[in-house]
Amino acid sequence: MKRYFLFVVIFTTFLSGDINFSYAEETMDQIHEITSFEQDITGDGIMEHFSLRGSFLSENSSYYHDIWLDVTNEYNDKWKISFASGYEPKLQLIHLTDKRTADLFYSVRKTEQKTPVTYQLYSLRNGKVTSLPLPKVNRMSGPLQEKFRASVTIDASAHTLTISLSNIKQTLLNQSIYDEKGNLNKKRNITVQPIATLKPILLGKNNGYGLKSIQYVTIDQTDIIAGTVESIWYYEKDHWVRVKTNYKQR
């Protein structure tokens, strides 16, 4: 009886090993190299090799549930950076915060739609992985005004952004928010949403790169998108400075 029990234990252990091994093989098969490249990003004059990798949620899914970056060099130095999961991950090496060494600018879509998008910014200067801040603004709102207009104070500063609603005049009339003469029938606020999109942009030969942000402008209690607020940001003294803001009708 004891021999039979011992045989069962050994056989069960063997089967468990087979199951774990098969699972490991299956997991490895799901890992994909999304992109790879070489560049000196630590500032020591030595080229680093970058390999952005990820594993899909399932065999038929295009959603990466695990995304990371492996960085190595010829001296066997290694770095690993984990990124947010999602669809269509993209990694750019671009001089956003330092003119001498590039930063890692990462983006990934959280759904199958174009937005929302998650962004991350990292530096490997001096061989140290550092997470860097990105431009961030809160929701801003202001009341609708007569004659199909509105105004919003930007970041609680003295700068007020005047918004024309002429492009959505007919929609506002259909919902009885205004009358034909431009008189306001219903009190509504116009709201500038948090940043939806960030794009690197060249500011000039002497200034290098900055970021362009896009924020949607909506009218409260409706599904109306009036337009977008587009801002240009420049990194200076460890924080982002807004250097320009414009309103663009939809």
Model pLDDT for residues 45-103, shown as the tens digit of each residue: 999 999 999 999 988 899 999 999 999 999 989 999 999 999 999 999 999 998 889 99
User: Does the pLDDT of residue 23 top 60, yes or no?
Assistant: no
Q: Which residue has the tokens 């956003």?
A: 96
Please report whether residue 205 resides in a domain.
yes
- Identify whether residues 112 and 153 lie together within a single domain: no
End position of a domain, from candidates 90, 113, 132? 132
End position of a domain, from candidates 93, 114, 132? 132
Q: Over the stretch 197-214, which tens digit does the pLDDT of each residue have?
A: 999 999 987 788 999 999
Q: CA torsion angle for 185, 191, 196, 198 (degrees, to 10)?
A: 120
* Distance between CA atoms of residues 66 and 56, nearest Å: 7
* 22 DSSP assignment: H
- Nearest to residue 98, comparing CAs of 230, 238, 244, 228? 238
Whole-model pTM: value is 0.82
pLDDT band (50, 70, 90) for residue 157: low
End position of a domain, from candidates 132, 162, 189? 132
3-state secondary structure of 41: coil
Residue range of the domain that includes 186 = 140-249
- Identify whether residues 109 and 155 lie together within a single domain: no
Distances (CA, A) of 174 to 3, 78, 225: 85, 61, 15
97 CB-near residues (< 8 Å, 6+ apart): 103, 121, 123, 132, 235
Sign of the C-alpha dihedral computed for residues 214, 107, 100 and 239 taken in this order? positive
